[in-house]
Chains A and B, each alone.
Chain A
Amino acid sequence: MKPTDIVIVGAGPAGIRAAQTLVAYGLQPCLIDESLRGGGQIYRRQPENFKRSTKALYGFEASKAEAVHSTLDGLRNEIDYRPETLVWNAESQTLDTLCNGVAAQVPYKHLIVATGATDRILPVPGWTLPGVYSLGAAQIALKFQGCAIGERVVFAGSGPLLYLVAYQYAKAGAKVLAVLDSSALSAQTRALPSLLGQPATLAKGIYYRGWLTAHGIAVHQGVELDSIQGQQRVRSVQWRDGEQLKRLDCDAVGFAHALRSETQLADLLGCEFAWSALNRAWLPSRDAAGRSSVEGVYLAGDGAGIMGADAAEMAGELAALTLLSDTGHHIDQARSDELQRRLEGIQRFRHGLETAFPFPENWAANAPDAMTVCRCEEVSAGDIRQTVAQGHWEVNRVKAMCRVGMGRCQGRMCGLAATEIVAQAAGRDIASVGRLRGQAPIKPLPFGVEIEP
């Protein structure tokens, strides 16, 4: 194979392990990544001139992060590594990229899509104010830049990241005023049996939760983030605890309800999608070995369903092994079988997490009409409901009518929330209102792009 026959998109845990596996079999893949230094989001690296230890940055995950980073460093001369490169379109056998203002085309015969995830956002009134960030953003500010999102921070939403970020902030010396978890303690107790399958991960979660309480940080469970107040920036946060409304002065809020997969490239490639009740999202279908429905296209990591960083490493290696096997290489089948078994175990744990941090089913019904859903185009929940009242219920039609999801982010931040509101307003099942289709360019391109000859 020629060096550019295999392309991997995304240099997170999945993409790096996929590249390593291909190199181990004597191949030279091209690894394209949008970030400066690779590692993905959860193992994102700080700039080169920063001095904090990996232990300070990644805590219990320091050795895993180090292993992923040193693997990428070791591969640099073995592969065609292209950092700071956006893949903005994907068609059969060709990717369109942009790097430092120069557009280029990258041909491929085999493609591993490892595009990762972003926070899943359920907006609240006030969420566009300066000082409000996603939980992932709050973590990136600290890990990548050594900054807190404010002086007095409240974290809200749900999912394992909520407790991890609150713990990391407090440990780094930030003032964390409160943690507002929409899931009740009873849900977490109910989930225990299925979480026991991954005892180390469960233990870390319990540790973060206990540490916060031991350090006097208020953790409110079973409460619903109601709104964020402020004029030019955050002044306070309000939440609902049973019948009571409670308010706390603060200058920053980090919030999210778990994660959502980045699926635009898989969509542009023509991969079949299927409804995932577990992820409450339409996801590109993959078989147990990592094949998509499109020949030559493989899916690995959180971009095809949220399973976390450990699973992403395994899925990246597995997708590479499957690709190798499909192209006539003799692979270590026992290793492939073992990876598939371990991924099944993590998938069971993932079901437990969904029980522990359930989706707030009443979110759409409670969202006020005046609340901004689409922050790019400033489309409100009321605008969406009016469109539904005119008889539209398929989410791309709703987008065409009221512009929700049509802005610069292409629905990354608002798409799932808009879908929830459409389904609720139309009285339809969430799976039946469809998914926002991906469009190229999947991220904005500047005018005056140079074209590589």
Chain B
Amino acid sequence: MALLKRLAEHDREILPFTLDGQPVSGLAGDTLLTAMLTCADHLRGSDFSAEPRAGFCLMGACQDCWIKLGDGRRVRACATLLEPGLSVSREPGRNL
């Protein structure tokens, strides 16, 4: 279920991408964080307890929203715009 709620700017081009292998979509101008959290409720599992995380500062400071893309790139979801056709597999994190 979605975490974020869209309030404005609904009228934008729809961009398809895949999340954990499932086809989903976002809108042109969405960050990856927005695109993911308007169709899911977390971005990754944490590194020490595998608890779900969904970013925190949205300004590139907290480093809580690093995700791995299908092409191997690691990016901060809050600072990276969605491109059509991207594939994102959420990392489960580790429970140490």
Query: Could you tell me which A residues sit within 8 Å of B by CB distance?
Result: 34-36, 41, 46-52, 56, 101, 118-119, 128-134, 136-137, 140-142, 144-151, 172-174, 232-233, 252, 262, 375-378, 407-409, 412-413, 443-444, 446
Task: Give the nearest-CB partner of A446 in chain B.
Answer: B74
Measured CB to CB, the closest approach of chain A to B6, in angstroms, equals 5
Residues of B within 8 A of A131 (CB): 3, 41, 54
How many whole Å from B33's CB to the nearest CB in chain A?
8
- Tell me the smallest distance from the CB of B82 to a CB of chain A, in Å: 10
- Name B1's closest neighbour in chain A (CB-CB): A233
Contact in complex: B46, A173 (CB < 8 Å): no
When chains A and B are docked, how far (Å) is the Cα of A151 from the Cα of B46?
24
Asked if A128 and B4 make an inter-chain contact with CB atoms under 8 angstroms apart, the answer reads no
**Docked CA distance A128–B62 (Å):** 12
**A residues within 8 A CB of B42?**
130, 232-233
In B1-50, the 8 Å CB interface with A consists of 3-9, 11-13, 28-31, 34, 37-38, 41-42, 46-49
Beyond the given pairs A378-B47, A444-B66, 15 more chain A to chain B contacts, judged by CB atoms under 8 angstroms and listed by A's residue number, are A36-B81, A47-B81, A50-B9, A51-B9, A52-B9, A130-B37, A133-B56, A136-B58, A137-B56, A144-B31, A147-B34, A376-B47, A377-B47, A408-B66, A413-B61
Contact of A147 among B5, B11, B61, B79 (CB under 8 A): B5
Interface pair B59/A137, CB less than 8 Å apart:
yes
List, sorted by A's number, 7 A–B pairs whose CB atoms are closer than 8 Å. Answer: A52-B9, A147-B38, A148-B4, A149-B3, A233-B52, A409-B62, A413-B62
Residues of chain A within 8 A of B66, CB atoms compared: 408, 444
Using CB atoms and an 8 Å cutoff, list the residues of chain B in contact with chain A.
3-9, 11-13, 28-31, 34, 37-38, 41-42, 46-49, 51-64, 66, 73-74, 78-79, 81
A443 contacts B58, C-beta separation under 8 Å: no
Residue of B nearest to A140 (CB): B58
Pairwise interchain contact B4-A49, C-beta atoms closer than 8 A: no
CB pair B5–A150 under 8 Å, yes or no, is yes
Question: Which 7 residue pairs are nearest across A and B when measured between Cβ atoms?
Answer: A130-B54, A408-B63, A47-B29, A137-B58, A146-B9, A146-B8, A378-B48
Residues from chain B with a CB closer than 8 A to the CB of A149 are: 3-4
Measured between beta carbons, the chain B residues less than 8 angstroms from A262 are 61
Beta-carbon contact of A150 and B54 below 8 Å: no
Interface contacts (Cβ under 8 Å), in number, total 147
Measured CB to CB, the closest approach of chain A to B87, in angstroms, equals 18
B7 touches A41 (CB 8 A): no
- Is A233 a contact partner of B3 (Cβ separation < 8 A)? yes
Residues A130 and B52 in contact in the complex (CB < 8 Å), given A140-B58, A145-B34, A375-B62: yes
Complex Cα distance, B47 from A52, in Å, reads: 38
Residues on the A chain within 8 Å of B73, using CB: 101, 446
Q: Are B4 and A141 in contact (CB under 8 A)?
A: yes
Task: Say yes or no: A145-B30 contact (C-beta < 8 A), given A52-B9, A378-B46.
Answer: yes
Q: Note all chain B residues with C-beta closer than 8 A to A375.
A: 46, 53, 56, 62, 64
Tell me whether A412 and B62 are in contact (CB under 8 A): yes
| Distance A130 CA – B53 CA, assembled complex (angstroms) | 5
Choice from A35, A134, A145, A151 contacting B56 with Cβ under 8 Å: A134
Q: Name which residue of chain B comes closest to A118, CB basis.
A: B61
Minimum CB–CB distance from A50 to chain B (whole Å) comes to 5
Evaluate contact between A377 and B48: CB separation under 8 angstroms. yes
A407–B63 Cα distance when bound, in Å, is: 9
- The distance in angstroms between the C-alpha atoms of A35 and B57, with both chains bound, is 14
CB-CB < 8 A to A148: which residues of B? 4-5, 7
Q: How far is the CB of A37 from chain B (nearest CB, A)?
A: 11
Whether B81 pairs with A413 at a CB distance below 8 angstroms is no
Smallest CB separation, B40 vs chain A (Å)? 9
Residues of A within 8 A of B60 (CB): 34-35, 443
Smallest CB–CB gap between B46 and chain A, Å?
7
In contact, B31 and A136 (Cβ under 8 angstroms): no
User: Within the assembled complex, what's the spacing in Å between the Cα atoms of A133 and B56?
Assistant: 5
Specify which chain B residues have a CB less than 8 angstroms from the CB of A136 in the assembled complex. Answer: 57-59
Residues of A within 8 A of B3 (CB): 130-131, 149-150, 233, 252
Interface centre among A147, A172, A409 (most CB of B within 10 A): A147
Of A46, A49, A133, A376, the residue contacting B58 (CB under 8 A) is A133
A41–B59 CB distance below 8 A: yes
Query: How far is A39 from B71 in the complex, measured between Cα atoms in Å?
Result: 31
Q: Do B4 and A150 touch (CB < 8 A)?
A: yes
